[in-house]
Structure 1
Amino acid sequence: MSGHILMVCTGNVCRSPIAAALLIQSMPGVATLSAGTHALVGRGADPLAMALMQERGIDLSAHVATALSDAHVRNANLILAMTRAHLTWLKTLYPEVKERVHLLCENDDTDVVDPYRRTRFTFELATSQIEHGLSHWLDAIRTLSA
């Protein structure tokens, strides 16, 4: 798939699936993918991630963790990383697309906390950070999708 927005986290079972789902809910029709730098390939979304998204009317039950691939990166119009470590990793491994790689919460220069194997509170915090970060990208994404 070309011309998509790519969300990147570590395991692809919490943050990036949440970010992709929230973007799709905000902007139906925008091609959005999520992948992990060290994905738990084949696993579904974390149960707490699924519960929080269900409360927002989003069904993550079909999500399957996917490893980040060269094709994901090459074909993305915009790549949003959950942490500065992901950002650095992506820019180092894929210098040819570094202008398309950004921190999701770059407006606040903040990493999205990793909620994996943590409490509901941590999942809620991560989701709140993702929602806040996405709010600053919506205009840019509209421009890319036009």
Structure 2
Amino acid sequence: MNNILTICVGNICRSPVAEALLKDRLPGRKVWSAGLHAVVGHGAEATAREIAEQYGLDLSAHRAQQVAGWMCSHADLVLVMETSHQQELQKLYPLARGKIRRLGEFGPQGAFEIADPYRQPRAAFEAAHAAIAQGVDEWVRRINLVS
């Protein structure tokens, strides 16, 4: 699993955080992010960026991009935030179906969704960051077992 793609809707809140956490915890792997309906060219949302900085992550260089078929083909693993994202990607790119998984697929109490904090209060961004970190921790553990 050397190429990991993270996906959310706008590619400005959740997937950039997941990308940064995965890059930090899986050095030497190619990790990037995109959006199903990306706000192309925009940086990470300010609150997401501030919270990430509190955890030592720098999202300042991030620029949103739209997901494309080549990205799903190139990725060994595609991690999405919600079941609806998984379903949409599987319809758009059926050949990538087996590698499109939810970031919250393996929670301590079962699978979980990572809610979109966009245009929500800071608490929603903090909850999303915590959920993303939990999902990343579990995927990193699993990836390290097979790599």
Q: Same fold (TM over 0.5)?
A: yes
Aligned equivalents of 1:120, 1:30: Cα separation in 2: 31
How many aligned residue pairs are there?
A: 144
Structure 2 equivalent of residue 105 of structure 1: 104
Quote the sequence identity (%): 38
Gaps of 5+ in 2: none
Using the size of structure 2 for normalisation, the TM-score is 0.92
Structure 2 equivalent of residue 91 of structure 1: 90
| Segments of 4+ moved more than 2 angstroms | 139-144
Deviates most, 135-144 or 19-28? 135-144
Helix, strand or coil for the counterpart of 1:137? helix
1:67 aligns with 2:66: yes
Note the alpha carbon deviations across 1:3-57, whole angstroms, 9 max, x for none. 5100000000000000000111112222101000000001000000110111111
Aligned with 1:128 (options 112, 117, 130)? 130
Letter in 2 for 1:69: A
Task: Kindly report the root-mean-square deviation, in angstroms, between the aligned alpha carbons of the 2 structures.
Answer: 1.5
Letter in 1 for 2:141: D
Gaps of 5+ in 1: none
Using the size of structure 1 for normalisation, the TM-score is 0.93
Aligned equivalents of 2:92, 2:24: Cα separation in 1: 30
Helix, strand or coil for the counterpart of 2:76? strand
